Amino acid sequence: MQVSEQVLPLAIKQYGPEHEQIGIITYGLGLTAEKAGDDNKAVRYYAQSVKIREKVYGKDGPGVAEALDLYGGALMRLGRVDEAEPVFRRALKLRKDIMGFEHAYQASSTAYLGAIAVAKGNYREALVRYRKAIELLASQKTDFVYAQKVMNQGLKRQRSAFIGLARAVWHGGAQLGRNKQAAFDESFKASQDAWQTSAAEAIAKMTARLGTSNSPL
């Protein structure tokens, strides 16, 4: 992380503090900090990346929405729920405005708002958000192999939405007016779907590897 951070002042000196290249570097540093478990740094770098993307690409650009989701996610992990909520709401609005219709592209921001609702104990809203995110992910046309692959990748990236739905259903209890069996059935189905998105990809990769070998297996 320290080595990666040494690049930033050198780049700022060469390009200036608001250049596109600085946005790329700060975005990458945010990802690195996130992987290193340092969300305080991730918040700082993602926020910087958002500001530069707004300046370079415009405040309504798709790259801004992506950076906003990552910024909000880091805030969430730090427990800064009230700060994260407007970030996710803005990201969702941008994604809706960009597409002009419902699309899987909006699923991540929708699921993040489900996580906000869970954090606030509003399981009814959480359930609505998570169900919508899953619907967006699973309802895209897959007439072509490539489209099917894209959808499966989206499901894998957003499998936390399935787990979030299970959490909302199970912990919502009386607030959702659900009996225990109904809660169990829906949460189990969501968890099963989350597992299948990962297992299916793993099996496909294993099959591909075996298909290129000459072993008895």
- Each residue's pLDDT, cut to its tens digit, for the chain (217 residues) gives 777 788 999 999 999 999 999 999 999 999 999 999 999 999 999 999 999 999 999 999 888 999 999 999 999 999 999 999 999 999 999 999 998 888 888 989 999 999 999 999 998 899 899 889 888 887 765 544 434 444 445 445 566 777 777 777 777 766 666 666 776 676 677 666 665 655 444 444 444 444 455 555 4
Residue at 18: amino acid letter: E
Q: How far apart are alpha carbons 81 and 14 in whole angstroms?
A: 37
Beta carbons of 99 and 67 less than 8 angstroms apart: no
At 202 the pLDDT is 47
pLDDT of residue 153: 52
pLDDT score of 147: 41
Question: Two tokens at 55?
Answer: 């300046």
Q: According to the model, what pLDDT value does residue 205 have?
A: 47
pLDDT at 170 (0 to 100): 72
> What pLDDT sits at residue 173?
67
Dihedrals phi, psi of 185, to nearest 5 degrees: -60, -45
- What crossing angle do the helices spanning 180-211 and 145-157 adopt, rounded to 10°? 130
If phi > 0 it is left, if psi is from -120 to 50 it is alpha, else beta; for residue 141 that is: beta
Non-local (6+) Cβ contacts of 175 within 8 A are 123, 124
